[in-house]
Structures are given as C-alpha cells and as structure tokens.
Amino acid sequence: MVPDTPSETTDSTDSHTGEEHTAVDTARRQLEHAVAHLDVNPNIVERLKHPTAVHEVTVPIRRDDGSLEVFTGYRAHHDSIRGPYKGGLRYHPGVTREECVGLGMWMTWKCAVMDLPFGGAKGGIVVDPKGLSDRELEQLTRRFTHEIRHVIGPNKDIPAPDMGTDAQVMSWIMDAYSIQEAETLPGVVTGKPPVIGGSFGREEAPGHSVAIITREACEYYGKSIEDATVAVQGFGSVGANAARKLDDWGATVVAVSDVNGAAYYPDGLDPHEIPSHDEEPEAVTRYDDDPISNEELLTLDVDVLVPAAIGDVITEDNADEIQADIVVEGANGPTTFAADSILAERGVQVIPDIVANAGGVTVSYFEWLQDINRRAWSLEEVQSELEAEMKTAWDEVRTEFEDRDVTWRDAAYIVALSRLTEAHTYRGLWP
Ligand code: NAD
C-alpha cells in the first residue's frame, strides 16, 4: 500500500460532539459493546483493554546528503495468549503509539475470530517513505529491524506489510533478522515474495475474503450473487481484488473509486478493464469521463456497499443516507461507532472488517506454516484452504448472530472474545 490514506492514521472527530477518538478508543468501545452480551470475567476484559507492551525505538539513518536523521518507530504487542503476536508494520507520517495499540487490538480479535493461533500486534515508523531514496528506505528498515529484533521472531511476533510497506520491505526485514540470528528464518515476517518463502495468493487474499463474505451474506439474505449489485470504494489491493472476484462470480459491479472519485455505470462495469491502484495509481477517474464523488458512491442504491479504501468513511453524517442493504467492510474501521448504531437501527446489515478482510492474515498464517515446514503450497491449495477457513468463520459468526439476536459486528466479537477469554481462563494470570 502507498501512504495516501491519511484518515486511518489520524484521530477522527465526532462532528456532533466534537469529541476526539483514537483507534484505541474505538477498539475499546467495540470491546465493551460486545462484552455486554457475554458472561465473561471482567478481569479478563480489563486485561484486554491494555497492550502487553509498546516498544518505542529511535531509528537513525544517514541521508543521501550525508546528514543524520532520527525517526521514531513502534511495535505494540496487544495480546499473545493464543500464539505469537501478528500484525502489520506501516510507514506513514501519521503513525502514533495510540494508533498502533488500537490496530493491534483489532488484530487480536481478527486472529481469534478466524481461530488462527496468533495474537495481535501493530507497529510502524513515523515517516513518509515517498520522501526517502531506495537506499535510505533499506537502511531505515534494516536499522528498525535491529532495534526491535529482540521482540520479533517466528515464534514471538511476525510483522507483515501495511500502509507504506511492501514485499521488498518484508524481504529486508527477513534478511536483517536472519543475518543477526545467523540462520535463514523466513517465518519472521509474512508478505514476502514467494521466492524467499512468501505464499502464492497472499496479495489477493483480503479482497478474495471480502468477495467470499459478500457472496455468503447475499445468500443468507436470499439474494444470489448473480443478482446482486455492488459498489466498491477504493480500487487498491482489497477493492480491486474484491470487485474482480465478484464480477467473476456474476455480480454486477456498478461503481468503483479511487481517491479522486468514482466510476459509476448503473448497468455495470468491468473491473478487470480498470487498472488497480498498484497497477496504475488513480486510474479509475481516468476511465470515466464523468466521475461521481466518493461521497456519492457511498450512498448509491445498491445491494452491497464495500468500503475498501480508508477508515471512518461511514459516519453519523452520512449513515442515514446509506441505501445499500448490506455493508461489507473491506477497509479496517470504515464505519464509526456512532454510524454503526444508526445503521443497526435502520436495518442495514454491516459485516465487520475483522471477518470480511481477514483473508489477508489467514493467508499470512498459511505463509508462516509453509515457512516453518519448509514446504510451499500451490495457488490452488491456498485458495481452497482460504475458502474453507472463511466459510467456517462465517458459519460460526452466523450462529452467534442468530442465537443471540445481535449485530454481525457483535456476533464476530462474541466469537473472538469467547476464544480469548477461555484461553485466558485456562492459562490464568502469572504470578
Ligand atoms: P491500497 O493503497 O492498495 O488502495 C487504496 C485505494 O483507496 C486506492 O484506490 C486509493 O486511491 C483509494 N483511496 C485512498 N484514499 C482515499 C480516500 N480518501 N477516499 C476514497 N478512496 C481513497 O490499499 P489496500 O491495501 O487495498 O487497503 C485498503 C484498506 O483495506 C485499508 O483500510 C487497509 O488497512 C485495509 N486492509 C488491507 C489489507 C491488505 O493486505 N492490503 C488487509 C486487510 C485490510
């Protein structure tokens, strides 16, 4: 991902109350909301509101002009009761300690709802990587890896790409860590190129899981995917892969967007014809002579809306205008806490990010398995295992949704929290 998605990294403001809330506030509020439906030990919930540790380091590099510049980096560990910490590393000027903690909490829930043997973490460096040369970026990455090497590792904490980082950055981390450990350890990071232990199908996985969940949700509400109309905000890794897979399955994709606006064709467009953000940045608005705005895309009268660009796009200001029957969250945190309640009251079904885009971390888990077993899987194996894992998670969340008469988000949190609290109960508090 390129770092052009700032609103996920800045604290958002409730337009009515003027109250500022950070990612960690939202994550805690969502936790409390779901806990109200469960009979769980409040001491465990209290523990889950806090990270285990937040590692803050300084990262000096020599700039190309010979000067020295010092950057700040973080690695927030939220919970590891069910396995090593897992989560992305982002390079973005808006990275903060609080953001890393909040996003790390979401990773804990995401891994738990998918029943992956991982906990949650997030980290990053406060930097605009576009302002660095390739040499500077490599030096920054290697030095950062050195500074956090005692807290990461294939059995401790496994970073992955996020905003502003990619397969090349993961390769440098793997190399720096392996050199320091004096052995090649591909399992220290995921999202690597396949030639050094990456997995086939990793890049497409979050978009494909969004498509699988969209298909399951449509079927649940009595609509076959061939009859569904879909609008997708964001045409990057998640949005483009979701739109193309849904088109392959016969859905009518009527709108897709990039940061500049949206292409809208009421009778459907071909998402395979439009270059994705990675293939040709911001090509969507060049494809359509008369684009609509991103705000208009969100309120189109479609069966399914997939916000797959940035966080906090469905807010209490536009929640009343959302016309889609189902919202499938492709991005992390696209719906604010206040908007969530409005949509629930209006009967708009919101399938949460921690399930919908969890294909990314699920295939990261497959990559880690391939690395520690030193055996590569074919693309077909990856795709069929992903389909199976997503359907299992969907069925488990659907059971809670039906049995408890809660929202899809609460149902997903209930599945995740049940696993986490049971694990905490068995392991107990030490000393
Ligand atoms: P990306 O950078 O590949 O694409 C982002 C897309 O959103 C681009 O088309 C860009 O033009 C558009 N965009 C940027 N700012 C926008 C704005 N203000 N309004 C409308 N559109 C805007 O990003 P991605 O990897 O597809 O990630 C998108 C979201 O999905 C993020 O929330 C990310 O955290 C989440 N996510 C990504 C992955 C992954 O592995 N890529 C996994 C899970 C979740």
- Does the domain spanning 205-356 belong to CATH 3.40.50.300? no
Dist. CA 386 → ligand 1 center (Å): 21
pLDDT of residue 12: 47
pLDDT at site 6: 34
Q: Is 185 in the pocket of ligand 1 (CB under 6 A)?
A: no
| Residue 371, CA atoms < 13 Å, CB-side half-sphere | 28
Given the CA of residue 313, which atom of ligand 1 is nearest to it? 19
Residue nearest (by alpha carbon) to ligand 1 atom 32: 331
The larger pLDDT score, comparing residue 334 to residue 430, is at 334
- Indicate where the chain has its CATH 3.40.50.10860 domain(s): 51-188
Domain limits, CATH 3.40.50.720, in the chain: 205-356
3-state secondary structure the chain: CCCCCHHHCCCEECCCCCCEECHHHHHHHHHHHHHCCCCCCHHHHHHHCCCCEEEEEEEEEECCCCCEEEEEEEEEEEECCCCCEEEEEEEECCCCHHHHHHHHHHHHHHHHHCCCCCCEEEEEEECCHHHCCHHHHHHHHHHHHHHHCCCCECCCEEEEECCCCCHHHHHHHHHHHHHHHCCCCHHHCCCCCHHHCCCCCCCCHHHHHHHHHHHHHHHHCCCCHHHCEEEEECCCHHHHHHHHHHHHCCCEEEEEEECCEEEECCCCCCCCCCCCCCCCCCCHHHHCCCCECHHHHHCCCCCEEEECCCCCCECCCCHHHCCCCEEECCCCCCECHHHHHHHHHHCCEEECHHHHCCHHHHHHHHHHHHHHHCCCCCHHHHHHHHHHHHHHHHHHHHHHHHHHCCCHHHHHHHHHHHHHHHHHHHHCCCC
Span from the CA of 423 to the centroid of ligand 1 (angstroms): 33
- The most confident of the ranges 36-40, 116-120, 160-164 is 116-120
* Ligand 1 and 165: CB distance under 6 A: no
Q: Is the pLDDT of residue 8 over 50?
A: no
Give pLDDT, residue 25: 85
Looking at ligand 1, which residue's alpha carbon is closest to its atom 36? 331
The domain 51-188 is placed in CATH, from the list 3.30.70.370, 3.90.870.40, 3.40.50.10860, 3.40.50.300, at 3.40.50.10860
Share of the chain above pLDDT 70, in %: 95
List, for residues 277-302, the tens digit of each pLDDT value.
Answer: 989 988 998 888 899 999 999 999 99
Lowest mean pLDDT among 22-36, 113-127, 268-282, 320-334: 22-36
pLDDT at 5 > cutoff 50: no
Res 9 pLDDT > 60: no
Q: Which one of 110, 122, 192, 245 is the catalytic residue?
A: 122
Average pLDDT over residues 321-347: 96
Q: pLDDT (tens digit, 9 = 90+) per residue, 239-268?
A: 999 999 999 999 999 999 999 999 999 999
Is the predicted pLDDT of residue 13 greater than 80, yes or no?
no
Per-residue pLDDT at 21: 64
Instruction: Look up 122 and say whether it is catalytic.
Output: yes
Q: Of ligand 1's atoms, which has the minimum distance to the CA of residue 2?
A: 2
